[in-house]
Structure 1
Amino acid sequence: MINQKSIAVLPFINMSSDIENEYFCDGLTEEIINALAKIKQLSVTSRTSSFYFKSKSVSAAEIREKLKVATFIEGSVRTSKNNMRITVQMIDTVDDFHFWSETFDRNPENIFEIQDEISLFIAEKLREHIGHLEIEDKLIEPIDVPVAIYREYLKGKYYIMKLDFDNSIKGIKILKEVTSKSPNFIQPYLDINLSYIYMGTLGLLPASEAFQKAQPFFEKAMELNPNSPRVQLNLSWIESWQNWNLEKAYDHANKALEIQPADDIYLTISNYLTVEGKLDSAQNYIDKALQLDPFSAMNHHYKGFLLYLQEKYNEAIPYLQKALELNKGLPFPPLYIGECLLLIGKHQEAIDYYNNLEGVPVTDLTQLGGLAMCYAKINDIEKCNKKIAELETYLQSENIDKAFNFLILVNVLLGNHDQALDFVEQAFENHLPLILLLNTEPIIKPIKNNKRFKSIMLKAIPDNVNYRQKKKYKQALLEADEIEKYRKELDQIMVDYKLYLNPDLSLKDLASYLELPANYVSQLLNLGFEKNFSEYVNTFRVNEFKERVLLEENKGLTIMAVAYDSGFNSKTVFNTFFKKIEGTTPNSFLKLNKEN
């Protein structure tokens, strides 16, 4: 079922011949996406998925099917020397009709006012169509830079978002010039930082070189605004992958999420849950990321990666292949496609796959390490030892992390457990991020219960579900601060995933989302909300019913049909809880609101 409070903003069409207008069109689209994402109750498709449809002719039905949204925006921009005409249309994907359109004739110099005006206009029209939304007085704050410099910024952003090496370097050069002219403008610093990190991650630059180049721009952005969601997200990555402090990593990621929900933040939290071994919760977060950005190659890769970690190899492969379809240059999926084939017993197919890799640099080590694992699995010791010797030559290179990873996996497959553990200890001593990923890797199951391995994992990941001591239940299960923490988390989970729409939802289901025993969640509901399970869940269902029953599209439905759509499965329970919570009957509520 598609969330009625969901929207996508398709790239605005450039109706002028001037390439400069193309930069503005993309920039306007992105600003509107970011502005609408600030509205808490609204689910907004991320930039990647929206821009997937740039220059493509698509129907409302296709948008509904592919982006899973109830509404979308499309528009165009035509500029002349003294005038800018922006046309905006809002389309309902269910009934395929344009329920409003508007034309704005404005002065091109008033860029920031135009962006905010259009974003607010869209939000207001959306509220009229789908129901209540909390909308701030301003959705886009003006930037204290001259319009000419802001246009240069849009130009630089336009090039780096193409994501290939040449355009990234071109965009970075433009953005560096922007920072020299407006040194207090935070956004270009963040974009340069992100561009370098992306190039390092994808192997377009050596990772160490890329991260080193990125760091000064991040530090400047942090100096300008430490509370920016992008700064908080970067701090989160640093705490996780450099400092191995997952508690602080979560704090920064959740702060970023609170400021502005975005798919890459959900992906990041999914990543941390994976490191701790909380794979079911990690799946919940990656599913939310995919909902917001279904055309993100990284989101599809990570979904496949999680399925790989859960040893669901046949289910993982289509997601990994989809990731490559969306971004053939993504370096991660090929490794796990080959490993999936290997672990389901298709040994020769895995060997052929690694031998025929295209587009993956030799220095990525995917082919070398992949073949080493294959030869280890089929016990071709001679070929395997040659690959091991070659992998060992990379231990003194910038690819030390990947070399250690493959050497650990290959030695486990060969049954050389002591050698594998020696490599694990060396990787730990070198503070290599691969240590965090070993915790859930299926191939190393034979050494996971080894005392040496357990000791390293607990040093690296103290809150490790694989090895930590089980909590002994106590009379007072949760402390006051824990109740407050989990209370907020549970409310957010209910809002994000609409669990209450499941009529068979149980206390154990809630407990699985919070990674707590059911006894703890029962106490949380009692002390944190002063409600039992039924009261807590049915309050959400009653509020859902109140919104749905007033929608134009539901006028032909009976009250109980709407109640069932809202998660109730009993007429008696519905009527009882509605009257208890609202102090009136559903019929009286509907009659009163129709009169008003």
Structure 2
Amino acid sequence: MQLSPKSIAVLPFVNMSSSIENEYFCDGLTEEIINALAKIKELLVTSRTSSFYFKNKKVTAKEVREKLNVATFIEGSVRVSKNTMRITVQMIDTLDDFHFWSETFDRNPDDIFKVQDEVSLFIAEKLREHIGHLEIEEKLVDPIDVPIPIYRDYLKGRYYIMKLDVDNSLKGIAILKAVIEKVPNFINPYLDINQSYAYMGTLGLLPAHEAFTKAQPFLEKAIAIDLNSSRVQLNLSWIACWQHWDIKKAYEHANNALEIQPADDIYLTISNYLTVEGKLDSAHNYLDKALQLDPFSAMNHHYRGFLFYLQEQYDKAIPYLQKALELNPDLPFPPLYIGECLLFTGKHEAAINYYKSLKGVPVSDLTQLGGLAMCYAKTNAIEKCHEKMVELETYLQSNNIDKAFNFLILVNVLLGNYDKAIDFVEQAFKNHLPLVILLNVEPIIKPIKNHKRFKDIMLKAITDNVNYKQKKKYKQALLDPSEIKKYSKELEQIMMDYKLYLNPDLSLKDLASYLELPTNYVSQLLNLGFQKNFSEYVNTFRVMEFKERVLLDENKGLTIMAVAYDSGFNSKTVFNTFFKKIEGITPNAFLKSKSN
């Protein structure tokens, strides 16, 4: 991935005091600066996870450039005494290993919020001087109406929950609950407690139902305090998708969160929804952005492997899944798919041995049990498979009901028990389990995807399911010449006003909804009014957009395909094909002609 000149990482500030209390402040200051800089729309800011990968490590500019793919990075230190706080900050160019400025701030420790904003603005201004124009707001860190001692307690609680293990998370939650009692309208601890419980439930560190039940009241309070918080919108997005199966509403909340403050977990979330819809190439594109912002996120690497698994590119999937475990050995998801990738590339014994060797969290979430059941089904070890299935069924009344149903569906498909598999799908649907909406793209269930009963369940789960939607039939009705002229003009205006072509997943149905016409009418309109099909029409706009964007100074450091993706394309092949078809030359040749 080409290095963008407008990219930066903020490495964890070093605690120069002996007190552990100052460690909380150092981490908090680093996070606030990361969040503040992320508000600058043109700037690519490495997320917390990847920045904190370097905590307590000595690194060179070359290592930061290679591992985080950023042009600049910030490092600093904090020393706090009773009445003074000294913050030293320096900015380093990763290409030339050049320290192009350093600054020291001597301030009162009680001016935490003011200092956070001052340091963030100073960094932003110096960055603008170094790399070119950036739109910077007058304030990047809003002051919080919380007494300083209580805010320090908040930083302490967050410090512990960000360690992500159960004991530290519960310790942090207890501290944050005490903060809430003192300042009940402070939104941050509610969001952090909600996130901590949800994380532990998702990873199987606590029973999922218990964790999500405990998380819910804290999210509800956060919503009541500030509905327009980016984190609130993201949580509402997750609920809309995984609890209510409302993909349209999930996209709305995710895009709201993205507009407020771009972050890698929002791009990952949108990639999740594209996956549910079966738009796997587009899911990869959004995941590219997530990985660019957070290249050390175990979940991002896992999801890349998961997408390759769904596309049945098993050899490509395994390295990403293994990288995820390298970054976070406790992540419970990768082992299942590593074993499946071995199984479906014919390495049956390797898959069986892999599942048998699993220890710890993956065992508690049924990965070992379900993985072996699939292996025995695939290798026709029917008696062993049956023993595992009987054991799986005992978990249908437990906190692991979701995983148990998932494995029972997959194993029965592998055995050819299609009606039985669909019975389990139906039961999972009645229990409103999230696994149902991911069955759309699971390669193992291909043999039952065209069964009417299965299709009916999928359409009940997601009523506008693009994978199974029954096409409505309209009477053939050609538009007359005056209508063609009228609607052609309207469509051109809509495309220019709303820039619909920037949506890589734009469909003919979407265009029809803007014109308030049946889809087949719009298909006829494109054919008769523009002598183009849908792809030709939309990609013409995208080529025009690319030609404008690729010549802008702010995009000089981007690759051709990065600009193409920003222009609405979601495939390299489609982009190159259409560009040459419309312009008569390749994108590279076009760019060279403009640089002469």
Give the match for residue 348 of structure 1: 349
Counting only pairs closer than 5 Å after superposition, residues 129-168 of structure 1 correspond to structure 2 as: 129-168=130-169
Helix, strand or coil: the match of 2:551?
A: helix
Tell whether the 8 Å contact from 2:38 to 2:44 is kept in structure 1 after alignment.
yes
Give the match for residue 58 of structure 1: 59
Among 499, 502, 526, the alignment partner of 1:490 is 502
Partner deviation per Cα, 1:241-277 (whole Å, 9 max, x = no partner): 1100000000000000000000000000000000010
Give the match for residue 227 of structure 2: 226
Summarize the Cα distance change of 1:410–1:546 in structure 2 as closer, same or farther, 3 Å threshold.
Answer: closer
Q: Does residue 465 of structure 2 align to residue 453 of structure 1?
A: no
Tell whether the 8 Å contact from 1:131 to 1:547 is kept in structure 2 after alignment.
no
Q: Does residue 395 of structure 2 align to residue 424 of structure 1?
A: no
Among 540, 562, 565, the alignment partner of 2:549 is 540
Summarize the Cα distance change of 1:125–1:423 in structure 2 as closer, same or farther, 3 Å threshold.
Answer: same
Give the match for residue 19 of structure 1: 20
Q: What letter matches 1:341 in structure 2?
A: L
Summarize the Cα distance change of 1:465–1:481 in structure 2 as closer, same or farther, 3 Å threshold.
Answer: farther
Helix, strand or coil: the match of 2:54?
A: coil
Shift of 1:448: 0.9
Give the match for residue 464 of structure 1: 465
Q: What letter matches 1:424 in structure 2?
A: V
Shift of 1:480: 8.3
TM-score, normalised with respect to structure 1: 0.85
Q: Does residue 586 of structure 2 align to residue 574 of structure 1?
A: no
Tell whether the 8 Å contact from 2:550 to 2:556 is kept in structure 1 after alignment.
no
Tell whether the 8 Å contact from 2:299 to 2:324 is kept in structure 1 after alignment.
yes
Helix, strand or coil: the match of 2:120?
A: helix
Whole-angstrom CA distance in 1 between matches of 2:101 and 2:472: 57
Shift of 1:483: 3.9
Give the match for residue 292 of structure 1: 293
Summarize the Cα distance change of 1:106–1:205 in structure 2 as closer, same or farther, 3 Å threshold.
Answer: same
Whole-angstrom CA distance in 2 between matches of 1:128 and 1:364: 52
Whole-angstrom CA distance in 1 between matches of 2:400 and 2:7: 43
TM-score, normalised with respect to structure 2: 0.85
Whole-angstrom CA distance in 1 between matches of 2:316 and 2:258: 29
Tell whether the 8 Å contact from 2:501 to 2:542 is kept in structure 1 after alignment.
no
Whole-angstrom CA distance in 2 between matches of 1:145 and 1:283: 41
Tell whether the 8 Å contact from 1:277 to 1:439 is kept in structure 2 after alignment.
yes
Tell whether the 8 Å contact from 2:549 to 2:555 is kept in structure 1 after alignment.
no
Partner deviation per Cα, 1:357-416 (whole Å, 9 max, x = no partner): 022253311111000000000001100000110111111112111111000000000001
Summarize the Cα distance change of 1:270–1:2 in structure 2 as closer, same or farther, 3 Å threshold.
Answer: same
Whole-angstrom CA distance in 2 between matches of 1:51 and 1:435: 36
Summarize the Cα distance change of 1:121–1:545 in structure 2 as closer, same or farther, 3 Å threshold.
Answer: closer
Give the match for residue 110 of structure 1: 111
Out of 220-229 and 535-544, give the one that drifted further.
Answer: 535-544
Tell whether the 8 Å contact from 2:355 to 2:368 is kept in structure 1 after alignment.
yes
Shift of 1:485: 8.8
Whole-angstrom CA distance in 2 between matches of 1:229 and 1:544: 30
Whole-angstrom CA distance in 2 between matches of 1:483 and 1:534: 14
Whole-angstrom CA distance in 1 between matches of 2:323 and 2:261: 27
Whole-angstrom CA distance in 1 between matches of 2:239 and 2:501: 24
Whole-angstrom CA distance in 2 between matches of 1:533 and 1:308: 30
Q: What letter matches 1:541 in structure 2?
A: V
Give the match for residue 128 of structure 1: 129
Whole-angstrom CA distance in 2 between matches of 1:31 and 1:161: 14
Summarize the Cα distance change of 1:140–1:571 in structure 2 as closer, same or farther, 3 Å threshold.
Answer: closer
Tell whether the 8 Å contact from 2:282 to 2:504 is kept in structure 1 after alignment.
no
Shift of 1:203: 1.2
Whole-angstrom CA distance in 2 between matches of 1:572 and 1:287: 27
Summarize the Cα distance change of 1:402–1:533 in structure 2 as closer, same or farther, 3 Å threshold.
Answer: closer
Summarize the Cα distance change of 1:489–1:295 in structure 2 as closer, same or farther, 3 Å threshold.
Answer: farther
Tell whether the 8 Å contact from 1:487 to 1:524 is kept in structure 2 after alignment.
no
Summarize the Cα distance change of 1:40–1:546 in structure 2 as closer, same or farther, 3 Å threshold.
Answer: closer
Q: Which 5+ residue runs of structure 1 have no aligned equivalent?
A: 494-517, 527-531, 550-566, 576-585, 587-596
Tell whether the 8 Å contact from 2:209 to 2:399 is kept in structure 1 after alignment.
yes
Give the match for residue 370 of structure 1: 371
Counting only pairs closer than 5 Å after superposition, residues 237-256 of structure 1 correspond to structure 2 as: 237-256=238-257
Summarize the Cα distance change of 1:546–1:349 in structure 2 as closer, same or farther, 3 Å threshold.
Answer: closer
Q: What letter matches 2:502 in structure 1?
A: L
Shift of 1:521: 5.7
Helix, strand or coil: the match of 1:56?
A: coil
Tell whether the 8 Å contact from 1:232 to 1:253 is kept in structure 2 after alignment.
yes
Tell whether the 8 Å contact from 2:113 to 2:142 is kept in structure 1 after alignment.
yes
Give the match for residue 437 of structure 2: 436
Shift of 1:204: 1.2
Helix, strand or coil: the match of 1:261?
A: coil
Give the match for residue 320 of structure 1: 321
Q: What letter matches 2:545 in structure 1?
A: Y
Give the match for residue 304 of structure 2: 303
Summarize the Cα distance change of 1:488–1:140 in structure 2 as closer, same or farther, 3 Å threshold.
Answer: farther
Whole-angstrom CA distance in 2 between matches of 1:265 and 1:430: 28
Whole-angstrom CA distance in 1 between matches of 2:273 and 2:87: 42
Tell whether the 8 Å contact from 1:155 to 1:174 is kept in structure 2 after alignment.
yes
Tell whether the 8 Å contact from 2:373 to 2:388 is kept in structure 1 after alignment.
yes
Tell whether the 8 Å contact from 1:278 to 1:465 is kept in structure 2 after alignment.
no
Tell whether the 8 Å contact from 1:338 to 1:354 is kept in structure 2 after alignment.
yes
Q: What letter matches 2:375 in structure 1?
A: C
Shift of 1:75: 0.3
Helix, strand or coil: the match of 2:170?
A: helix
Give the match for residue 199 of structure 1: 200
Shift of 1:545: 7.3
Tell whether the 8 Å contact from 2:204 to 2:332 is kept in structure 1 after alignment.
yes
Shift of 1:419: 0.5
Whole-angstrom CA distance in 2 between matches of 1:481 and 1:230: 35
Q: What letter matches 2:551 in structure 1?
A: V
Summarize the Cα distance change of 1:79–1:545 in structure 2 as closer, same or farther, 3 Å threshold.
Answer: closer
Shift of 1:431: 1.1
Partner deviation per Cα, 1:60-84 (whole Å, 9 max, x = no partner): 0000000000000000001111110
Whole-angstrom CA distance in 2 between matches of 1:485 and 1:230: 29
Shift of 1:22: 0.4
Q: Which 5+ residue runs of structure 2 have no aligned equivalent?
A: 506-531, 559-586
Shift of 1:129: 0.4
Whole-angstrom CA distance in 2 between matches of 1:280 and 1:188: 37
Tell whether the 8 Å contact from 1:276 to 1:461 is kept in structure 2 after alignment.
no
Shift of 1:487: 1.4
Partner deviation per Cα, 1:32-88 (whole Å, 9 max, x = no partner): 000000000000000000000000011000000000000000000011111100000
Partner deviation per Cα, 1:317-354 (whole Å, 9 max, x = no partner): 01001111111111100111111111111111000000
Whole-angstrom CA distance in 2 between matches of 1:164 and 1:482: 50
Among the aligned pairs, what percent are the same residue?
72
Tell whether the 8 Å contact from 1:75 to 1:87 is kept in structure 2 after alignment.
yes
Q: What letter matches 1:84 in structure 2?
A: M
Shift of 1:466: 2.7
Whole-angstrom CA distance in 2 between matches of 1:546 and 1:288: 16
Give the match for residue 384 of structure 1: 385
Q: What letter matches 1:540 in structure 2?
A: R
Tell whether the 8 Å contact from 1:277 to 1:464 is kept in structure 2 after alignment.
no
Q: What letter matches 2:435 in structure 1?
A: L
Whole-angstrom CA distance in 2 between matches of 1:180 and 1:307: 46
Helix, strand or coil: the match of 2:550?
A: helix
Helix, strand or coil: the match of 1:569?
A: helix
Whole-angstrom CA distance in 2 between matches of 1:545 and 1:196: 41
Helix, strand or coil: the match of 2:371?
A: helix
Q: Does residue 182 of structure 2 align to residue 181 of structure 1?
A: yes
Shift of 1:461: 2.6
